[in-house]
Amino acid sequence: MLGFHVVKRSKDATPWWIAWLIRIGAILLGALVCALVTVVLTGKDPIYVFTTMVNGAFGTERKLWSLLQGIAMLLCVSLAVTPAFKMKFWNIGAEGQALMGGLAAAACMMFIGESLPNWLMLLVMVVTSMLAGAIWAVIPALFKARWNTNETLFTLMMNYIAIQIVSYFICVYATGGSGKIDVINASSHIGWMPSIGGKAYLLNVIIVLALTVFMYVYLKYSKHGYEIAVVGESENTAKYIGIDVRKVIIRTMIISGLLCGLAGFLLVSGADHTISRDTIAGRGFTAIMVSWLAKFNPIVMILTSFLLVFFEKGSGQVSQICGLNASFSDVITGIIIFFIIGSEFFINFKIMKNEKEGK
Amino acid sequence: MKKLLAVVLALVMVLSFAACGDKPSAGSNGATLKVGLICLHDENSTYDKNFIDAFKAACEAAGLVEGESYFIKTNTPEGAECKEAALDLVDQGCTVVFADSFGHEPYMIEAAKECPDVQFCHATGTKAHTENLANYHNAFASIYEGRYLAGVAAGLKLNEMIENGDITEETAKIGYIGAFPYAEVKSGYTAFFLGARSACPSATMEVTFTNQWYDETLEKESAQKLVADKCVLISQHADSYGAPTACEDAKIPNVSYNGSTEAQCPETFIVSSKINWEPYFELCIKAAKEGKEIPTDYVGTVDTESVLLTELGAKAPAKGTADKLAEVKAGLSDGSIKVFDTNNFTVTRFDDTYNQYKKDAIKVDENGKVLEYLADVDDAGDYVGETNVIVDGVFVESGSDMRSAPYFDLDIDGITIAK
């Protein structure tokens, strides 16, 4: 017989500081396992591994910017999914919504070309990208509101459709022999986000920072934010107090899609300057983790996205210095995510010793 | 508010980390040379393994140490990640950065523009001769000569099978799995076919494309499909072990690429041609050490040992293959054999599958012998040929005065393309 059993914690029984202690404990434990794995694989001592990781994330000015850009992009997608999540609408289609945004931006760069001044071009790109993202998000929302379809499956499947659409357009647009779209407007830089003071990613970071503050205020202090919270807690309550639930679902998913589209735009115009199936690079899924771990608080999400990006960049450096395969980075990130998700179990449930037999 | 404070404190911590990260030493004056290689996949791909092995050998011969003075980045996609990887290597202190895949090129060019003091060397690319960047270089090898040699070995095997009565002259059909239908692949299989036909005149060939460089399952299935189409010998230009292992299972002789598959396929492996990148890596490392220039377009040949044949398989090759290969190799070396001699092939089909859009660029006589062909050497993205590459009756396949990467893209008679 097992000497313990699992009990669900009552909702208010876990003070926020205990929850955070469990989370921080889990991350530390995860880091420990990562260190162990790394030490076993490389034979280097853990301190060396850790300093290499820090170096990989912060070692040079360029690395620091690359880290900030990584955080900004992950955060942007996370901000996009947050309002929907808070409403308990499980939008796991951010990958596809952002990809459609990126595709729209890339198409503008390729076909509008030099006929517009760059500022107007960027404006057109932002608008089309956000619209594309919104269209991709509103389709499952309409189905949910009208026929109560399962939004998780629906948004998930929309990802694959988006990826196939991008593949199709890559085949159509690709000029080179490798079946890829090259750097778009490599010489004219039309549709490229301008760099500020020589910093290519600064504008991206500023935009996402502003967006973070906006989303914090929107969710916490606006009427919309309140409606989202109520719908998320209980649809019946929402109906009872006269909230039009359908309207809120659709409106919130449009916002979610608009911001995903923006993320796609920022990736294509502000960093990659091309489009591929992997432009979003799984951020649409990682964002779920970031948002959820931060309890849908946009400010805390800065920290959670930092955490994930730090481990990605740091372990990338370890794999390179120690001559490991690049997949090592995925292994490390996987371990950390495993512990983070695992910690939620211990926040929601507690393990009790069995009472004496024959009660 | 407490939470906000915690976040602010965390951010301060993050930024202070940043401040204490050590800066890389500026420039490489006096410091040891550092070099880096960017690979599309890892050692599980025969293509990338070929680069990685040569890179390690060249670096170690020059006294460089992995993780300290030479670095390898594996699994780098053909996208913005490549530029990121290249710049990261520069951060590491590398002054020569190599990349191994065709699709890395635009991102290597972007990196080269950003770091004019670092040399960027890209294998298989086409843009160095038109990009006018002093620090950006392309390299390739006349691998079609290696393919031709491997083709001769295949032709001899077909002859042996005909003699043994396993097949007849009419059924001497070769199967070939290509990755993409562009010049690098077309040049390769055409040379292979010409080599085979030089030994076995009745040989024909069927080609199928996977449209992937590395897809083990697809390559395996393609090989099985070719066997079902009555191909009696198979070769491939794709990077997994899929095709050779399918051949081993079906007991169909196989001519491999990028390296020997004798260990995996002891019964069916004939020979493999490969590009040996070591001479190029050595040349670039030496140039960087001595402050000399790296050629804009480098073409390795049989003579520079950039084009190699592996050892013959123990069981599958026909008798006398080694002697014949030595003879043909000597012919390629002294110029008495030209792979793309226009007397050796004809071009007569012009439709949606064969030589699409090429009718205006080519002049052929009534028998289909090519007299003149304008190839798209400048690769400006227009697909319009501008350079006549038929010189003295020979299709000049590549060259340091043209560009290093292949541009032979004709569909010659005798080769059919599977639907």
Instruction: Count CA atoms closer than 13 A to B368's CA, side-chain side.
Output: 13
The full DSSP string for A3-45 is: SEEEEEPPTTTS-HHHHHHHHHHHHHHHHHHHHHHHHHHH---
Model pLDDT, residue A321: 85
The CB density around residue A61, as the number of other CB atoms within 10 Å, is 14
Binary contact (B109, A183; C-beta < 8 A): yes
ipTM confidence score: 0.83
Tell me which chain A residue has its CA closest to the CA of residue B18. A58
Please check whether residue A199 touches B, CB under 8 A. Answer: no
Phi, psi of B192 (to 5 degrees): -60, -45
CA–CA separation, B50 and B101 (whole Å): 12
Binary contact (B67, A58; C-beta < 8 A): no
**According to DSSP H, which parts of B164-302 are helical?**
183-199, 216-228, 242-250, 278-290
The CB density around residue B369, as the number of other CB atoms within 10 Å, is 16
Identify which of B67, B84, B106 has the shortest CB distance to residue A66. Answer: B84
Please check whether residue A320 touches B, CB under 8 A. Answer: yes
Model pLDDT, residue B19: 43
DSSP summary character for residue B66: B
More confident residue, B326 or A13: B326
Residues contacting B78, CB < 8 A, separation 6+:
A178, A180, A276, B40, B101, B102, B103, B104, B107
Q: Quickly state the pLDDT bin for B201 (edges 50, 70, 90).
A: very high
Q: Pairing mode, if any, of strands A349-353 and A4-8? A: antiparallel
Dihedral Cα A187, A189, A191, A197, nearest 10 deg = 170
Q: How far is A81 from chain B (nearest CA, A)?
A: 21
Q: Quickly state the pLDDT bin for B29 (edges 50, 70, 90).
A: very low
- Inside any domain, residue A20: no
Q: How far is B317 from chain A (nearest CA, A)?
A: 34
Binary contact (A299, B7; C-beta < 8 A): yes
Q: Which of A280, A125, A128 is nearest to A191 (CA)?
A: A125
Tell me which chain B residue has its CA closest to the CA of residue A62. B91
Q: Judge contact between B288 and B238, C-beta under 8 A.
A: no
Q: How far is A24 from chain B (nearest CA, A)?
A: 13
pTM score, two decimals? 0.84
The share of chain B scoring above pLDDT 90, in percent, equals 74
CA–CA separation, B245 and B257 (whole Å): 13
Q: Quickly state the pLDDT bin for B31 (edges 50, 70, 90).
A: low
Tell me which chain B residue has its CA closest to the CA of residue A310. B14
User: Minimum mean pLDDT among A326-335, B199-208, B294-303: which range?
Assistant: A326-335
Binary contact (A274, B79; C-beta < 8 A): yes
Tell me which chain B residue has its CA closest to the CA of residue A186. B110
Model pLDDT, residue B2: 52
Residue B222 exposed, middle or buried by CB count within 10 Å (0-12, 13-18, 19+) = buried
Binary contact (A176, B91; C-beta < 8 A): no
Q: Which of B398, B130, B36 is nearest to A323 (CA)?
A: B36
Mutation for testing the B interface, residue in A53, A178, A305 having most B CBs under 10 Å = A178
CATH code (residue A119): 1.10.3470
User: Minimum mean pLDDT among A318-327, B159-168, B196-205, B231-240: which range?
Assistant: A318-327
DSSP summary character for residue B316: S
Give the CA distances from residue A59 to residues A72, B18, B72, in Å, rounded to whole numbers and listed in that order.
Answer: 19, 7, 19
The alpha carbon dihedral of B373, B377, B381, B386 has a sign of negative
Q: Which of residues 248-277 of A touch B (CB under 8 A)?
A: 271-274, 276
Binary contact (A274, B381; C-beta < 8 A): no
pLDDT at B18 over 50: no
Residues of B in contact with A326 (CB under 8 A): 42, 73-76
- Inside any domain, residue A328: no
Q: What is the pLDDT along chain A (359 residues), one digit of tens a residue?
A: 567 888 887 766 678 888 888 888 998 999 889 888 888 888 888 888 889 989 999 999 999 999 999 999 999 999 999 999 999 999 999 999 999 999 999 999 999 978 889 999 999 999 999 999 999 999 999 999 889 999 999 999 999 999 999 999 998 888 655 678 889 998 889 999 999 888 889 999 999 999 999 999 999 999 999 999 999 999 999 999 999 999 999 999 999 999 999 999 999 999 999 999 999 999 999 999 899 888 899 999 999 999 999 989 998 888 888 888 878 888 888 898 899 888 888 888 888 887 765 54
Q: Quickly state the pLDDT bin for B1 (edges 50, 70, 90).
A: very low
Q: How far is A185 from chain B (nearest CA, A)?
A: 11
Identify which of B74, B75, B91 has the shortest CB distance to residue A60. Answer: B91
Q: How far is B67 from chain A (nearest CA, A)?
A: 4
The domain tally of chain A equals 1
Binary contact (B80, A177; C-beta < 8 A): no
- Inside any domain, residue A176: yes
Q: How far is A135 from chain B (nearest CA, A)?
A: 27
Please check whether residue A302 touches B, CB under 8 A. Answer: yes
Q: Which of B412, B416, B418 is nearest to B191 (CA)?
A: B412
Residues of B in contact with A322 (CB under 8 A): 67
Highest mean pLDDT among A33-37, B24-28, B194-198: B194-198
Residues of A in contact with B182 (CB under 8 A): 177
Binary contact (A183, B110; C-beta < 8 A): yes
Please check whether residue B79 touches A, CB under 8 A. Answer: yes
- Inside any domain, residue A12: no
Q: Quickly state the pLDDT bin for B288 (edges 50, 70, 90).
A: very high
**A/B interface, count of CB pairs below 8 Å:** 105
User: Minimum mean pLDDT among A196-210, A334-348, B171-185, B345-359: which range?
Assistant: A334-348
Q: Left (φ > 0), alpha (ψ -120 to 50) or beta: where does A358 sit? A: left
Q: Which domains does chain B have, with CATH numbers?
A: 28-142+277-300 (3.40.50.2300), 143-276+305-417 (3.40.50.2300)
User: Minimum mean pLDDT among B5-9, B14-18, B46-50, B257-261: which range?
Assistant: B14-18
Identify which of B22, B67, B103 has the shortest CB distance to residue A59. Answer: B22
- Inside any domain, residue A27: no
Binary contact (A183, B71; C-beta < 8 A): no
- Inside any domain, residue A332: no
Q: How far is B207 from chain A (nearest CA, A)?
A: 18
Q: Which of A340, A337, A320, A334 is nearest to A57 (CA)?
A: A320
Q: What is the span of the domain harbouring residue A74?
A: 45-321
Residues of A in contact with B7 (CB under 8 A): 299-300, 302-303
- Inside any domain, residue A3: no
CA–CA separation, A40 and A133 (whole Å): 44
Identify which of B21, B72, B103 has the shortest CB distance to residue A180. Answer: B103
Model pLDDT, residue B15: 47
CA–CA separation, B258 and B51 (whole Å): 9
Model pLDDT, residue B254: 96
The share of chain B scoring above pLDDT 70, in percent, equals 92
- Inside any domain, residue A36: no
